Amino acid sequence: EIVLTQSPGTLSLSPGERATLSCRASQSVNINLAWYQQKPGQTPRLLISDASVRATGIPDRFRGSGSGTDFTLTITRLEPDDFAVYYCQHYGTPPRTFGQGTKVEVK
């Protein structure tokens, strides 16, 4: 099973600041990686597929990058609606797995 490790666990930032979230895989997943956003009481929302492709309707302030074992989700300027938990998920060699999540909170 491929283990995804996200860091940091919590990111405390202010609106307008840049958020940089990391996801590291225990072995290569090529670009078979997605990012999701989840707000309290809501279902996860797909943000990024194939490491860097924004899903339909996702603003361009969300940017994914990386390949192999190291991936980054960058939110260029945080808006109030962006404070949430973010998960990475691989869909390379089964089983698929999620990272443990990074919470982006208001500083």
Partner 1 sequence: EVLLVESGGALVEPGGSLRLSCATSGFSFSSYAMNWVRQAPGKGLEWVSVISSKSVVTFYGDSVKGRFSVSRDDSRSTLYLQMNSLRAEDTATYYCAKDARGGGGDMDYWGRGILVTVSS
Footprint of partner 1 (CB under 8 A): 1, 32, 34, 36, 38, 43-44, 46, 49-50, 55-56, 85, 87, 89-92, 94-101
* Residue number, 18 or 105, with CB nearest to partner 1: 105
Sheet holding 70-75, edge to edge: 4-7, 19-25, 70-75, 62-67
CB of 33 to partner 1, least distance (A): 9
Taking a C-beta distance cutoff of 8 angstroms, is the pair 33, 47 a contact?
no
E strand spans, 14-76: 19-25, 33-38, 45-49, 53-54, 62-67, 70-75
* Residue number, 19 or 86, with CB nearest to partner 1: 86
CB of 70 to partner 1, least distance (A): 19
